[in-house]
C-alpha cells in the first residue's frame, strides 16, 4: 500500500478526526484577550496562558496540576472560548443588563487601576500630615509604678487608706495584692498598656501627674494606685518616617476622585447625542 493510500485510509478513521480537531483547537486557541473578535475562527493558547491556568489551579488545590489535569484545564478553556464567541455571534450580549453591568464594573476597575501607580508629591503628603499629625504619631510612652488591690468589696476605701500611707512614706513595694502584671512598666506605649491593663486604665494615665501617687485607677482586674515616673510625649512624625502610610491613606481618600478622572478621560472621546421628547 502506497503512502498516499495509507494517508487516505487514516483520514477515514474517527479517532484521527478527533485528534486533528483537538490539535486544531489547541493550536488556534490562546489569545482571548479583552478585545475578542467574534468573527475570528482562530483561538491561540500561549505558554503564558497555560501557566496562568496552572497557577490558578495550584492556588485552589495547593499543589501543581498533573499533565492530564493541565490538559483538562485547556479543554475547559477552549470550550468556554468557543461558547463565548458563538454567543457573541448570536448577539446574546446585546441588551443584557447583567452583562452590561459586569462590563461596566470591569471597565471601572481597569480605568481606576491605571492610576494606581500615580504617586502624590511631597507637598500633598505634607498637607495630609499637617492636617492630622496625631494619626501618624507614635503613642506616648509611660514609665510608672502600680499597686494592685484585689477586686473586692471595700477596695476603694482600702485604696484611700493606702494612698494616705504612701504619702507618709510607706514602702510601696510591700503594699497591695499579687497579680501577674508588671509592677513598674518602663517606657511602654498606650496600646500595650491597654492590652495588659485594659482601656480604662490606659485612658486614666494621661491625667496623672508625674512624681506622686494617684488613684484608685480602674483596670480590667480591679483597682490600682499609680505613681507616674516619666511620660515621653508623642512627637509629630517627619514625612519620611510615615510616607508609606500617608500614601496609602491618600490613595484611599482620593479613589473616587481618581475614578471620576478616569471616566472623564473616556467620556471626552465620545460624542453624546440625546433626543428628548
Q: Taking the chain, what is the end-to-end CA distance rounded to the nearest angstrom?
A: 79
Q: What is the pTM of this model?
A: 0.40
Q: What is the pLDDT along the chain (277 residues), one digit of tens a residue?
A: 554 565 455 445 444 444 444 444 444 333 344 455 656 778 788 889 899 999 989 988 989 999 999 888 988 888 888 888 888 887 777 777 887 788 777 777 776 665 566 778 889 888 888 887 766 777 778 899 988 887 666 666 778 888 888 888 888 888 888 888 888 889 888 888 888 888 888 888 877 888 888 888 888 888 888 888 888 877 778 888 888 888 888 877 777 777 777 778 777 888 877 776 6
Question: In this structure, are residues 203 and 220 in contact, taking their beta carbons and an 8 Å threshold?
Answer: no
- In the sheet that holds 188-189, the strands lie side by side as 188-189, 141-150, 222-232, 213-218
- In 114-242, where does DSSP find H-type helix? 122-131, 155-167, 190-197, 199-205
Question: In DSSP terms, which residues pair with 143 in a beta bridge?
Answer: 230
Query: What is the rounded distance in angstroms from the CA atom of residue 263 to the CA atom of residue 201?
Result: 50
Determine the CATH number of domain 138-232: 3.10.50.40
Spell out the domain ranges in the chain.
3-94, 105-135+243-277, 138-232
Amino acid at each position: 500500500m502506497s503512502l498516499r493510500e495509507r494517508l487516505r485510509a487514516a483520514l477515514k478513521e474517527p479517532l484521527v478526526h478527533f485528534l486533528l480537531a483537538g490539535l486544531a483547537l489547541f493550536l488556534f486557541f490562546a489569545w482571548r484577550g479583552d478585545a475578542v473578535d467574534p468573527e475570528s475562527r482562530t483561538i491561540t493558547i500561549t505558554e503564558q496562558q497555560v501557566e496562568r491556568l496552572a497557577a490558578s489551579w495550584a492556588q485552589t488545590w495547593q499543589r501543581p496540576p498533573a499533565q492530564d489535569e493541565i490538559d483538562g484545564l485547556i479543554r475547559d478553556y477552549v470550550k468556554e472560548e468557543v461558547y463565548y464567541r458563538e454567543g457573541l455571534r448570536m448577539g446574546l450580549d446585546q441588551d443584557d443588563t447583567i452583562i452590561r453591568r459586569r462590563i461596566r464594573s470591569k471597565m471601572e476597575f481597569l480605568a481606576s487601576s491605571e492610576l494606581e501607580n500615580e504617586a502624590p508629591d511631597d507637598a500633598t503628603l505634607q498637607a495630609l500630615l499637617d492636617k492630622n499629625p496625631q494619626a501618624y504619631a507614635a503613642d506616648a510612652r509611660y514609665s510608672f509604678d502600680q499597686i494592685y488591690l484585689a477586686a473586692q468589696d471595700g477596695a476603694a476605701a482600702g485604696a484611700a487608706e493606702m494612698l494616705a500611707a504612701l504619702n507618709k512614706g510607706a514602702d510601696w513595694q510591700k503594699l497591695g495584692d499579687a497579680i501577674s502584671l508588671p509592677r513598674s512598666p518602663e517606657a511602654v506605649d498606650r496600646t500595650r498598656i491597654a492590652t495588659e491593663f485594659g482601656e480604662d486604665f490606659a485612658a486614666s494615665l494621661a491625667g496623672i501627674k508625674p512624681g506622686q501617687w494617684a488613684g484608685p485607677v480602674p483596670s480590667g482586674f480591679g483597682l490600682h494606685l499609680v505613681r507616674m515616673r516619666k511620660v515621653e510625649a508623642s512627637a509629630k512624625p517627619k514625612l519620611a518616617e510615615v510616607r508609606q502610610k500617608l500614601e496609602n491613606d491618600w490613595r484611599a481618600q482620593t479613589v473616587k476622585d481618581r475614578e471620576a478622572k478616569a471616566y472623564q478621560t473616556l467620556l471626552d472621546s465620545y460624542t453624546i447625542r440625546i433626543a428628548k421628547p
